[in-house]
Amino acid sequence: MIHWHVKPTAEEVALAARDIIIDAAHRAIHVHGIFKLVLAGGTTPERVYSLLTKETCHWEKWQLYLGDERCLPIHHPQRNSQIIQRTLLDKIDIPRQNIHFIPAELGAVKAAAKYQQIINLASPFDLVILGMGEDGHTASLFPNHQYIESELVHAVFNAPKPPAERVSMSMTALSQNRTLLRLITGANKKDSVEQWRKGENLPIATITTLGNEITLLDQSTFGDT
């Protein structure tokens, strides 16, 4: 059952996402003393990350992971880790050891093997954030691509969204969450949202939750269908 939460603007999506993340953090820290959060790459969550920096949080209790990473040099501006560094990490006081990024600079195979060990120990997560591409991909899980289901982390070599070489948490790993938060903004996503609503099993639709799921969209993505 998808809970579609349609907001008038992308800004209101970001504000709602910020509130959901802060609430999940409070609950997780109250229940088990830490907040294990999987961050999304891409541009949609940037505003959410920026809003989070304005909050007063027990950052030392946050453990951050990444849903996927592009195989680029470690300081390449197009790395998801660099986007998150600029929009969030440079502005909050979080211990370095709490940040568990994907060593994608090692190449997809080595990085996936290393990250698999980290995810195996960290799972389940309190909150997983996902974005969605125009084709309905999420993380680096793309339509009409085959992935080894038993893996927690995939080495990806043929991504249609550059760069072709990536590392991605798997559907199985991303589904190990107590709360799943999907963020979708931009009229360019409208067709995929429509296909999804009609039952198309796009990668974004394959990620499930152990608890509750929230899909936040702006009005431009949600036609009248």
Return the DSSP state at 142: -
Q: Is 136 in the site for ligand 6PG (CB under 6 A)?
A: no
Return the DSSP state at 123: P
Q: Is 170 in the site for ligand 6PG (CB under 6 A)?
A: no
Of 14-22, 49-57, 137-145, 191-199: span binding ligand 6PG (CB under 6 A): 137-145
Q: Where are the beta strands (DSSP E) in the chain?
A: 4-7, 35-39, 62-66, 68-70, 99-100, 125-130, 153-156, 166-169, 177-184, 212-218
Counting Cα atoms < 13 Å in the Cβ hemisphere of 77 gives 0
- Looking at the Cβ atoms of 95 and 162, the one nearer to ligand 6PG is 162
Of 8-16, 107-115, 134-142, 172-180: span binding ligand 6PG (CB under 6 A): 134-142
Residues 133, 161: Cα–Cα separation, whole Å: 9
Q: Is 161 in the site for ligand 6PG (CB under 6 A)?
A: yes
Q: Is 126 in the site for ligand 6PG (CB under 6 A)?
A: no
Task: Give the shortest CB-182-to-ligand 6PG separation in angstroms.
Answer: 10
Instruction: Characterize the bridge pairing of strands 99-100 and 35-39.
Output: unpaired
Q: Is 13 in the site for ligand 6PG (CB under 6 A)?
A: no
Q: Is 138 in the site for ligand 6PG (CB under 6 A)?
A: yes
Torsion sign, CA atoms 136, 139, 145, 146: negative
Query: Binder to ligand 6PG among 10, 40, 94, 108 (CB under 6 A)?
Result: 40
Of 36-44, 99-107, 112-120, 145-153: span binding ligand 6PG (CB under 6 A): 36-44
Cα angle 23, 123, 148; round to 5:
125
Q: Where on the chain is the footprint of ligand 6PG (CB under 6 A)? A: 40-44, 68, 70, 80, 131-133, 137-139, 161
